[in-house]
Amino acid sequence: MSKVLYMLIGPKGAGKTYIGTLINTHTDIRFIRVEPIWLSLQAGEDGWKKVEQIIDTAFNSHSKIAIKSLGAGEEFGKFHTSLEKKYTRELPAPETRRGV
């Protein structure tokens, strides 16, 4: 079974959570809200590692997962690289994004 990770990337207030909730409700894609994960971190805990672990666990029972992110920073780049080694990622092609 192929495991596909959809990443909703955009600025705050762009509607990522709203879209993710619709995806979760109306498709077979499981949307994981990452804010509660970040808010529950203990001092010194690696947030990106924690999110990745939760994604890995979710793939035990779902073949399609969606998350949202601002997609910024060096640490996000490392997170993204780690995920692309394990899962098929789906992102819109640059030419399909609004304003490009």
Q: How many domains does the chain have?
A: 1
pLDDT single digits (tens) 44-90: 888 889 999 999 999 999 999 999 987 777 888 888 888 888 888 77
Q: What is the pTM of this model?
A: 0.78
**CATH value at residue 88:** 3.40.50.300
Tell me which residue range forms the domain holding 66.
4-96
Supply angle C-alpha 72, 78, 83, rounded to 5: 105
Mean residue pLDDT of the chain comes to 85
From 46, 96, 38, select the one nearest 67 (Cα to Cα): 38
**pLDDT computed for residue 5 by the predictor:** 92
